[in-house]
Structure 1
Amino acid sequence: MWPIIKITYREMISKRIFTITILMSLAFIILFGVATWFAAREVNDMMGRIGSDGVMMKGFFSTQLLGMGLYFGSIITALLAILSSVGSIASEIESHQIDTWLARSLTRKQYMLGKFFGLSSMLILYAALLFLGLLAINQWVGGGLVAVQVSAGQLLSGLGYFVLLPVILVSVSLLMSSMTTTVTGGIILIILYGISFIGGFVEQLGSLIDQESLINIGIVSSLLFPTDSLFRLTTLSLFETVDNPISFASQGIFGTSSPPSTAMIYYTIGYGLVALLLAIRVFQKRDV
């Protein structure tokens, strides 16, 4: 299994999509830093003009600015996870490169697990660096003006939810890759990912205006593809404090007015595990 993990590392690094994503991620972090600097300066001027109300505005800006960065960061991570893993099995079957590996004393289960651990570990590292980079900019560039006050426990909790996203996506991508072609699997996953995030926003809107039908739509979309719940748990972990259980982020577009339950966390983990087990089973039965 270890040779497959090493080969997966080399293949992922050599792909053009990985290089482009790294470069665009650096551009995104720089842009986020510039936006944070201008926001801090604006908040500083605003607090001097409106007095005590500036404290509330400061809290809103700080959570929404970091929430925006994490939102687009999660999209970048998700697209990288999908595009780098959805063809990992299908493309090798189509090109018959997989025949060389399966001719050795290597089971299909070991091959699939090697792909999973190789892709997941690389994407976990990428997601962790992106998350910590965004948070570091918020803390250092934002200073005491737009920096979110985050404890070590909150940071670790938010990081854990953020890096779980690519792991779930890799599991489902490998299932798609073992069943369909690269293009078909990629289209299906991107659509499911979009449905999840749109459903998440619909659920938050329904919670704010107390519309049960909208909340139910969001719940159904989360059960279909539970990626949005991980983003909501990330922001909830960072923005919710003991002194202020209903954070400013709860009132904004990137907030969490309808927090995912503990059962949803277990469901998400189980979703990824079942997808991986199905991927192994389908690959074992597939005629290559």
Structure 2
Amino acid sequence: MWTIAKLTFKEIVSKRIFLITMIMTAVFLILYGVAIHYAVKDWESFGASTVDQMMQQQLFSSQLLSIGLYFSSFIVALLTILSSVSAIASEIESHQIDTWLMRPITRTQFLLGKVIGLGGLLITYAALLFAGIIMLHQGIGGEVVSLDFSISQIASALATYMLQPLVLVTLGVMLSSRMTSLNAGIVLIILYGSAFIGGFVEQIGTIMEKGALVNIGIISSLIFPVDAMYRKMTVFLFETADNPVSLAQQGMFASASAPNNVMILYTIMYGCVALVLAITLFRKRDV
């Protein structure tokens, strides 16, 4: 199992899609850093700040960080989807799995090795990207743009942020164990997009006090809890729960309807169920 995990790790790193993602990640971080640099430069040109200017500065700073975290989660999800949907299907399509299954290794060990290798790589990537966004915002921003975060806020937000690729990996491998890479990718992308649309609908419904819209968002979170984890991450980081000022500062990326802590447990169980289903489906599949 651990041999499969190591080989999976090396295989993903050697793929062109990983190299492209790393290049685009570097470009994203550079552009994000440049944006912060010029934001700081513009604010410093005002000289002494009035109360209104300081409030606008805080508003812009929070929104800038929220935008960075939102699009970074999209990058992580894209890499996770493209990597996980071919984990099993590509081995079957190329008949390379025949070589593996002839060795003294069970299908369960093979699949778990794939999940461990993929999960370890993508969780590490997500953690580094999250840290990069925070450090760029706090480091380049200085006293002008940086926000006051405690260690517990960052740790809680990071842990929740890393749950997103973990759920995507388990579900991606589950689909890959039954479908082709293309079909699994289409299904997972649709689920991912639907979850984020449902999340925005829920936020709008909460602000407008429309119960039907809120219920749509809750149902979409139960079907696919990735967006709920993103929203929970913003709650941990910005402490937006029951805080109208913080909600206003983040704008459209805020969490007006914050998932409770039970949703974290549900997400972990969701990933475990997806993993069990993946093992069951792979055992029954004729290769």
Please say whether Structure 1 and Structure 2 have the same fold, judged by a TM-score greater than 0.5. Answer: yes
Deviates more, 1:272-281 or 1:145-154: 145-154
1:70 counterpart letter in structure 2? L
Return the offset for 1:45: 4.3
Find the aligned partners of 1:155 and 1:145 in 2 and give their Cα distance. Answer: 20
Matched length: 286
Tell me whether 1:203 sits opposite 2:202 in the alignment.
Answer: yes
Tell me whether 1:9 sits opposite 2:28 in the alignment.
Answer: no
Over 3 Å counting, the alpha-carbon distance change for 1:139 and 1:115 in structure 2 is same
Over 3 Å counting, the alpha-carbon distance change for 1:41 and 1:168 in structure 2 is same
Find the aligned partners of 1:240 and 1:106 in 2 and give their Cα distance. Answer: 47
Return the offset for 1:247: 4.5
| Structure 1 residues not aligned, in runs of 5+ | none
Q: What is residue 85 of structure 1 aligned with on the other side?
A: 84
Q: What is residue 24 of structure 2 aligned with on the other side?
A: 24
Over 3 Å counting, the alpha-carbon distance change for 1:205 and 1:33 in structure 2 is same
Find the aligned partners of 1:170 and 1:96 in 2 and give their Cα distance. Answer: 22
Return the offset for 1:41: 2.6
Find the aligned partners of 2:47 and 2:257 in 1 and give their Cα distance. Answer: 30
Find the aligned partners of 2:170 and 2:159 in 1 and give their Cα distance. Answer: 17
Q: What is residue 69 of structure 1 aligned with on the other side?
A: 68
Contact residue 234 and residue 240 of structure 2 kept, 8 A? no
Question: Where does 1:15-54 land on structure 2 (aligned, <5 Å)?
Answer: 15-45=15-45, 48=48, 51-54=50-53
SS of 1:142 mapped into structure 2: helix
Contact residue 240 and residue 246 of structure 2 kept, 8 A? no
SS of 2:252 mapped into structure 1: coil
Q: What is residue 151 of structure 1 aligned with on the other side?
A: 150
1:225 counterpart letter in structure 2? F
1:230 counterpart letter in structure 2? M
Find the aligned partners of 1:249 and 1:18 in 2 and give their Cα distance. Answer: 35
Contact residue 203 and residue 216 of structure 1 kept, 8 A? yes
Find the aligned partners of 2:110 and 2:59 in 1 and give their Cα distance. Answer: 48
Find the aligned partners of 1:61 and 1:47 in 2 and give their Cα distance. Answer: 17
Tell me whether 1:175 sits opposite 2:174 in the alignment.
Answer: yes
Find the aligned partners of 1:247 and 1:94 in 2 and give their Cα distance. Answer: 53
Question: Where does 1:1-288 land on structure 2 (aligned, <5 Å)?
Answer: 1-45=1-45, 48=48, 51-240=50-239, 245-249=243-247, 252-288=251-287
Find the aligned partners of 1:250 and 1:82 in 2 and give their Cα distance. Answer: 32
Find the aligned partners of 1:159 and 1:21 in 2 and give their Cα distance. Answer: 21
Return the offset for 1:230: 1.1
Return the offset for 1:47: 7.4
Return the offset for 1:161: 0.8
TM-score where L is the length of structure 1: 0.95
Find the aligned partners of 1:115 and 1:183 in 2 and give their Cα distance. Answer: 18
Deviation by residue 1:155-179 (Cα, 9 ceiling, x = unmatched): 1111101111111000000010001
Contact residue 162 and residue 234 of structure 1 kept, 8 A? yes
Deviates more, 1:21-30 or 1:36-45: 36-45
Contact residue 250 and residue 256 of structure 1 kept, 8 A? no
Find the aligned partners of 1:96 and 1:247 in 2 and give their Cα distance. Answer: 57
Percent of residue pairs bearing the same amino acid type: 51
TM-score where L is the length of structure 2: 0.96
Over 3 Å counting, the alpha-carbon distance change for 1:46 and 1:217 in structure 2 is farther
